[in-house]
Each structure stands twice: as C-alpha cells, then as structure tokens.
Chain A
C-alpha cells in the first residue's frame, strides 16, 4: 500500500493536522514546482512504506529532552509537503536546550529500514554563549526518513554540525536543517552523503543579526542511481553577516546530483559577505549534474561570489599512484578520499573529524 493512502486513514484531531492532511492530499510536489524541478519524487510516491512502529531516533545527550506538544509547535512547520507530512504524523517532536555558556555534545542516530517511514522534528535552542557539537548520522536501508532539525541560535552561540548519510538501495531521505542566528552566532555545517537512491537536503540559514555567520559544506559520493538534491539557502537579513556554501560531489555510474544554492541579501544587509562554490567530478558518462546558483541581492555594498566547476579525475594523478604499485581501485579510492578531505578538514572538532575521516575511508562499505 502506498503510504499516502495509509495516511488518509489516520485519525486527525486538531485543526492544524486537518489542514496538514488537506495539504498532503494534494499530493507530492511535481517537477513543475521550481524547488523540485530537477528531482522526481515518483519512486517515493510509489514506494510501499509503513509508518514506523518503534523509535528510530537515538539521541545521545546528557541534556533533558522535552517532548513538544503539537498544538504549540505549529511555528516549526512551513507550508512544505514534507513539513506538513511531519505535522500530520509526527513520530518524534522534541526540543533540547543548550544552557547559556555551556559546551555540549549531542549524538543523533537515525536508522530506518524494513520499508518503514519516519517523521521527526528536533528543535535545539542554543542559549547565549553556548557551544554545541552535533553529530547526526542517518542510515537508511529500504525506507524513508523525513527529518528536520531547527537550530535557534542566541547571541554568541556556536554550533558545529556533522550530518552523514549512508543510503542503501530503495532508500529515501528528506533532511532539513534550519538555523536562525542572532548576533555573532556562528554555524559550521558539514554534510557527507554516499550510497544509492534519493537524498534531498534542505539547508537554510537565516542570519538575523549583525555578525552572524554560517558555513555550509558538503561532500557527496554518488553511485549506481543515487540522486542527491541539495537545496542550500543563505539568507542575509542583517548587515555585516557572512555566509559560505561549498559543495563537492563525485559521481559515478548513473548517479545524479543537483545543487541549488541561493544567496539572499536583503536591502538593509549592507557589508554582507557571501560565497558559493560547487565542484563536481564525473567518473562516468552516464551521470548528470545540475547546478543552479541563485543570487538575490538587494543591497548595494556587499560581496557575493559564486562559482561552479565540473571536471574529471586527473589522469596524471591516477598514473602516478599506479606507477608506485597501487591498483586502479586503490588509486581511485585514495583520490576520492582526498577530494572529500578538503571538506572534512573544515571540521574543528577533533571527534567529528575522526568520525568524518572514517566515513570517508569506508567508502567501499556500501557496495
């Protein structure tokens, strides 16, 4: 049974859920929707999925986890198909607060399998001067994960996030991160994805006050028929704000990557500084890359750069490694890791960097 038909039988009590049910009934966004122009949701809409029965989200933290009430949480859901899906059937709706001036670590593990789907929303409120290291790992094998994390960052808070995805066959994930950053709040976000089928990432940073900065980096290693669709928004809503977007992708076989990066600089956000760069390496003739940079700049005294490059592996590097005795496969794997290392090396937390490096070196573990 298609999981939307299962949802239609769900008992909805509250008014906001009724409107969510209404939204969902209209169906999946199609390619006519600009945001979904490059990625078809047909395989997901046809998938045979059931609502998850047990908890699929493991939270490792010493902090108190608060279960949020749906009635008071409407503000966390946008008018978006997958947000509304979470609202209609929230498996988890939680909140964690990082106390002022505290340094904390949160590990979050999301394992979806056996034809189940799972909706979760986690709100993390970072109090002033707090510091958070967040390790989110998702492993999807034959299922669908619809997860959202909202970071409300008060003044001078800092957050570093490693989001890693391992996607096995017949797997889907829609992963949404939203940050709302006040004065001098800084976010560094590193995403690593590999495997097959479909991963959609929505990453949106709203720089609300002066001095806020966000750095969004990603490395995708795609094969078979994996599609990764990254939708990254940097919203400069105050003067003197800084944003960086840097995504690297390696594609082989029939894989497909989409990078839609948007930089929005509001009229009053003078002296903002924004950069965006996407780079792709294509290892096969059958893979596809769609890159759509979008700069909406309404202030006149800002820096906003973007660039996109698509290339192939350097044959000289391949030969050099092979001439030292490394097989083609070993040479390729080393060069692939090396390509991703530039992203991984941006991590400041040694713990996260260690996790990310072992993720990179285990690149063959999905085959």
Chain B
C-alpha cells in the first residue's frame, strides 16, 4: 500500500532522511521508534507533503485500487484526498475556523475525489456526533475553533476524531501518545483500534512501548540518523524499553 524507497529529505540545508526504506501493506500496523532527532517526525511530514521539507532523492509510492501513485508529485491536499492522514504531534490551532466546518469540507472533498456520494450537513452532523462519542468529546466542541484553547489531550483526541471521520487509507500518527494521561491514552488508542481494519494501515511514531500495549504493532522499526537500522516484531519494542538504543547504535558504529 505504501512503499518508501531510498528516501532522502532535508530542511533548509540540513539532511535529515538519508535513504529510508519502508513497506507497509494493507491491514498492518507499523511502529517507528528511535532516539530524538533521528527523523521520525520528518518522515511523517514528508509523506504528507509539508512544504518546509525538500525531498532530494527517493520515491514514495501509494497504491490505491491496484494503481500506483507517486505521492511526492502531489500537493498535500491531493495526498489527503487519496487517503493519507497525518495526526500531528503538535496539532495547529486555527482560530475562526470551526471543527465542524473543517471536517465537513474535508469529508465532502474526499468523498468527491473518491467518487463517493457526499453527505448533507445534517446527516454529517449526526455521523460526526457518533464519532465524538468514541473519543469522549462533547459535540459542542464541533462548533468551537479548531484546537483553539484545547488542552494537549483534547488536541490529540481531536486528531483521532478527524481520523475516524475522514477514514483514510493510511494513518500516520506522530507521537499521538505524547502528553496524554493514562485515561486519555486509553481513549485515543481505542479510537485508533476502531479505525484500523484489514483495508487500511497504521504507522505509529512513538517513544514509548506503553502505546503499543494498546495498539499492537505487526512490525517495529528503529529509525536512527535518517535510516531504518533495525526491524522486528513487537518484542523489539519491549527490548528497547528495557535496554534503550545503545546496543543498536553500537552495533552499527
């Protein structure tokens, strides 16, 4: 579904991704771990098309209905309409734009693009209110400005609400667990589990094994200095939790 080949990317003159390879298939959950500054967030932003990053080499292929598409040639909104979703580490506040307006506009644009019938405003509100329940959000949030004045936990829940509503083909979750208390972590994880099925895929970027207790990964990768240096199953995350990254880094040095 998502195939990244030899991806190199930089911000200003700073090379961050240095030849990254990753293959994600339908129905899979991949966890990406790694020390601070290894390029995890950059990877998520490059896949979703953040304008601050320049791709200098490599390919990102995205398979939609048996057709290969080159994500790197697309604008961020085109990638979103194809089904790429990034739950951000620091969700942006957009004063004056309501959550409902954003969700409704985005939802119908995605429907239009994918040839699915659009929803009326009143049907959509009912649909979204149900999704609010899953992440424990009061529907009155919908009429407030996007993330404005939200607590850290509310912002993360809002990202998961968007994930559930927009129902993308692949979800990139960038440290969605950071800054969450235990209850919020459980709610957010349940949201992701409700989303995940055999037709979509999840890429989790995290520092902590804790999240993986809730959302079980099929693969765990370690990103270091812009490359994946080790891949394994969920037991890799458990070992990292216990031993840190030193043993891996020593290995490659």
Residues of A within 8 A of B (CB): 314-317, 319-328, 330-331, 334-335, 337-339, 341-342
- Neighbour of B92 across the interface among A317, A334, A337, A338, CB < 8 A: A317
Tell me the minimal C-beta distance from A250 to chain B in angstroms: 12
Q: Which residues of B contact A319 (CB under 8 A)?
A: 50-51, 76, 92
Q: Is the CB–CB distance between A324 and B96 below 8 Å?
A: no
Q: Say yes or no: is B101 at the interface (Cβ < 8 Å to chain A).
A: yes
Q: Is the CB–CB distance between A326 and B77 below 8 Å?
A: yes
Of listed A320, A324, A325, A331, residue having the most chain B CB within 10 A: A325
Tell me the minimal C-beta distance from A320 to chain B in angstroms: 4
Asked if A327 meets B97 with Cβ closer than 8 Å, knowing A315-B51, A320-B88, the reply is no
A216 to B113, CA, bound (A): 44
Q: Say yes or no: is B220 at the interface (Cβ < 8 Å to chain A).
A: no
Tell me the minimal C-beta distance from B65 to chain A in angstroms: 18
Size band of the interface chain B makes with A:
20 to 34
Q: Which residues of A contact B86 (CB under 8 A)?
A: 323
In chain B between 60 and 109, which residues have their CB closer than 8 angstroms to a CB of chain A?
A: 75-77, 79-81, 85-86, 88, 91-92, 94-97, 101-103, 105-107, 109
Q: Say yes or no: is B176 at the interface (Cβ < 8 Å to chain A).
A: no
Asked if A330 meets B88 with Cβ closer than 8 Å, knowing A323-B80, A324-B80, A325-B80, the reply is no
Asked if A339 meets B96 with Cβ closer than 8 Å, knowing A324-B166, A330-B105, A334-B105, the reply is yes
Tell me the minimal C-beta distance from A35 to chain B in angstroms: 33
Chain A interface mostly helix, strand, loop or mixed?
A: helix
Q: Is the CB–CB distance between A334 and B97 below 8 Å?
A: yes
Residues of B within 8 A of A (CB): 48-52, 75-77, 79-81, 85-86, 88, 91-92, 94-97, 101-103, 105-107, 109-110, 113, 145-146, 162, 166
Q: Which residues of B contact A327 (CB under 8 A)?
A: 75, 77, 109
Q: Is the CB–CB distance between A326 and B105 below 8 Å?
A: yes
Known: A322-B76, A325-B110, A337-B97. 16 other contacts (CB 8 A): A319-B51, A320-B94, A321-B94, A321-B97, A322-B80, A323-B48, A323-B49, A323-B80, A323-B88, A324-B162, A324-B166, A325-B105, A325-B113, A326-B106, A327-B75, A338-B145
Of listed A322, A323, A335, residue having the most chain B CB within 10 A: A323
Once A and B bind, how many residue pairs between them come within 8 Å at the CB atom?
A: 83
Q: Is the CB–CB distance between B166 and A325 below 8 Å?
A: yes
Q: Which residues of B contact A323 (CB under 8 A)?
A: 48-50, 76-77, 79-80, 85-86, 88
Asked if A325 meets B109 with Cβ closer than 8 Å, knowing A317-B94, A334-B97, A338-B96, the reply is yes
Q: Which residues of A contact B50 (CB under 8 A)?
A: 319, 323
A337 to B75, CA, bound (A): 23
Q: Is the CB–CB distance between A338 and B95 below 8 Å?
A: yes
Q: Which residues of B contact A320 (CB under 8 A)?
A: 88, 91-92, 94, 146
A226 to B102, CA, bound (A): 30
Q: Which residues of B contact A338 (CB under 8 A)?
A: 94-97, 145
A52 to B94, CA, bound (A): 46
A322 to B110, CA, bound (A): 12
Q: Is the CB–CB distance between B94 and A325 below 8 Å?
A: no
Tell me the minimal C-beta distance from B234 to chain A in angstroms: 29
Tell me the minimal C-beta distance from A359 to chain B in angstroms: 15
**18 contacting pairs across A/B (C-beta < 8 A):** A319-B76, A320-B94, A320-B146, A321-B97, A321-B102, A323-B48, A323-B88, A324-B166, A325-B106, A325-B110, A326-B77, A330-B109, A331-B77, A334-B94, A334-B101, A334-B102, A335-B97, A338-B96
